[in-house]
Structure 1
Amino acid sequence: MKTHHQDWLTDYLAAKKTEDRAYHSRMRLCQRFYQRYQFSQRVPCVSKVKQDELRDIHEKYASHFWAKFATTAHVDIINVDETSVYYGMPPGKTLAKVGGSSKVDKSQSTPTA
């Protein structure tokens, strides 16, 4: 909004009674926008390995896994590697299309939405 619609934003904020009201009104406007167009607020993550390499690793592991457990029923396989990871840094947030990726390049220091 600040970049492409500066005049509209200035008029919109000036029409509000207080700065606090203007801030909350603008935040609600943004929330309605990203809910309407199916965006979600997510914390970006940086890839250290290229997607092609990750895909190759995944395919190799999947073929090894299914060769070993081919006779095991799918209902008997339980995914137990859902481990939380916490980093000692403040999270930034970005909007990402639902079902899409929230990955950012290493060179992108601050995500913009």
Structure 2
Amino acid sequence: MPAPLLSQRVQRRYNLDMRIKLLMAYGNTNLSDKAISALEGIPRTTWLTWLSKKDAYLTSERNKRCLTLGGQGKHVAMQFANDLLAFMKAVRADSHLLTTAHMVTWIKTHQQSWVETYLQREAASGTGYDGLLAELEEQKNAFAANFWEKHEEKPLQDIVNVDETAVYYDMPPRRTWCEIGEDAKVDSTEKHSDRLTAVLGACADGAVLHTADM
């Protein structure tokens, strides 16, 4: 019985170097798959899987310390991914801010047919924009029912809804994108912002209140 190549201990992870050595060592052996598995302490199904990918292992240019051949991640679903990536790199090349909104705008401008197909698919599945609107409508109706149950005795002119909204000018986004390992700096002109507050008040009877009335 030949001596095993692997150390005889509980082996749960095998890098590419180990697999290649085993495949080369037992490439022309007379031992059966079962005997090799028993000798090296490898599950037989694991050994058979390696054998089925023998050519890929022997020709792989990946670092031999890696545990897989690579390519197990989710494949790119957008055919224009390279064009989008080129746009992203072009924006960052001049140290400009790159946000998700910029990428969405690029897709809507240059890939309109893809956008239409995507929206149709999401609408059919009930998880797209129409699904979100339906959920918001349900919450609105529930709130309205609860509100009027508590305040139905009050005159409509005494029920006022006040909405205060902060408006920012040239505000840097909270999150931006940059390439891994690259400098995340941005142009100094894109780092400052101004702010004002807009207030709108309206009565339940439809009358709009001006600032002097509030």
Provide TM-score, normalisation by structure 1. Answer: 0.32
Higher normalized helix content (fraction of residues): 2
Q: Which has the higher contact order (CA 8 A, sep 6+)?
A: 1
Q: Work out which of the two has the higher radius of gyration on C-alpha atoms and give 1 or 2.
A: 2
* TM-score when normalising by structure 2: 0.18
